[in-house]
Structure 1
Amino acid sequence: MRLAFMGSPDFAVPALRALHAAGHEIAAVYCQPPRPAGRGQKETPCPVHRAALDLGLPVRTPARLRRDAAEHDAFAALDLDAAVVAAYGLILPRAMLDAPRRGCINIHASLLPRWRGAAPIHAAILAGDRETGITIMRMEEGLDTGPMLLAEAMPIAPDATAGALHDALAAMGARLVLRALAEDPAAIPQPEAGVTYAPKLTKADGRLDWAAEAAALERRVRALNPWPGTFFDHGGEQVRVLAARVEPGAGVPGMLLDDAGLVATGTAALRLLRLQRPGRAAQDADAFLRGFALPRGTVLG
């Protein structure tokens, strides 16, 4: 089948590699343009760009699509059977959605209509959902509103981080999109009930609000690991919290209840298990606290 692939982050790479390995003809790979990264702010291609070059595939990196008629014409000229989209990062205009014979097929990391939007993996953990999954859908102009072709669920483990769930869902998405292309299942409209949205996250979302419930804070630590990460302020530094556990305890929210990293919250307490200072390696709490004391009675920011 003659395809275009449209994706940018690590989540999309397994699908690109699976499509290539399955023998599909990938006429073009679309991804976000290279961006400055690292200490030297060197222009760096995104993960899909790097994977496409590794596979010897042609890459296109338009900065915008919506009002670029030349890009629309170039896409139509590819004469595609379908386009596979996975976390591309640009909105596709109607002219491009309609160009492939079987349309544009999206790999979405939730069980639609729950968690439409930019951060469905994080949102599922934050909400305490017990399961998530992949939905393969045919795209339309609305935000993740298109009819569904395939869906498959997976449980969310009690200790799952966004990073671990991301990798499992990326592999599932690669497998399911191959099925969707091979089987061409009937499209089923999404239910009107149960729609929720997962907005894009920023680094500010990682600040821990100690007045919240301990269970919600523990989920936030997992949901924002590895990015954007959760943190608190102390001693003029932002200290990252990489792992935590809910334990009994009560006190002023943010106050250390012992010398081993037990923090009072709005309800119960949170045991800090793994921490990281800026520019330093991550450490388990006992090792971290030997070099960065957080004594009982300290109130964290």
Structure 2
Amino acid sequence: MHRMLNRRTLVVSALAFPPSTWAATWPTRPLRIVLPFAAGGSSDLVARLLADKLGQALGSPVVVESRAGANGIIASEAVARSTDGHSLLWISAAHAINASLYPRLLYDSQRDFAPVALVASPGPMVIAVPAALPVRSLSDLIALARRQPGQVSYASAGIGNVLHLAGEMLAQQAGVQLLHVPYKGAAPALNDLAAGQVNLMFNSALAAAPMVKDGRVRLLAQTGAQRSPALPADLPTVAETLGLTGFQVTGWFGLLAPAAMPADLVGRLNAECVRILALPELREKLALLGSADTPTQSAREFGAFLAAETDRYARVIRAAGLRLETPSS
């Protein structure tokens, strides 16, 4: 069924897109960016700013449509099935994770989409612990986990999200057993962390900042490959603290199109996105997402990045033995 659905969708989509010789007249109707998050968040804000500038550049409106739920699967399926030739998909690391976490998706996370542009460059998360926990470094925390196998707990926003996978990755690479405690969202998880109900949590620095400021939680490390200039200069990376050279978990956002979109249209969209994302007002808003650098990747480079992220999370998911049934849309 999966193959039949993909084949039919791609054939119809190919008919919906104009031949490359018509690229100068495309778009012929408003474009839509399908967002897998609820409206009102910082990601939604950046998407709408990008859509406004992109609409001006293309001479046609670009609207943002929120299709939240099912870890991004609802939005992804909507764009994979679209036949209007004018739909784009806003993605995060969840798109790379879902490819392995849900074996029965009704779309192929790579073959059914064309990479368009990286919107927010990869930014590190932080590892936070309650202020009352008697550890002062990530090395102390790992030592505690070795003394108490399976008793050191970490919170996440739910099974299969990037916060969960970050904890799995840390446990696998550091050789310890951690107890995963999933919540229905990051906010209640962070509240319980501050109250000492769980021992650690991966989260964005922005989300943790208020509790760090009032002294309820302490930061132990950041999760990028190198120290980020947007974070405290004395906050080490997981890799340098534990000697785990391959450890890296970052937050990022990007745009995909249905696979049938012609390469010249993809290139045109990529060039406009790169130009728009360098504007000061976009840079300011991207900083809210933890993106310290202006995205400059070509569509091909973004595709390579997405494939690498998909492969990296696939290894973590296999090692953890994770497998979820596809949520109903």
TM-score, normalising length: structure 2: 0.26
Higher radius of gyration, 1 or 2: 1
Greater RCO, CA 8 A, separation 6+: 2
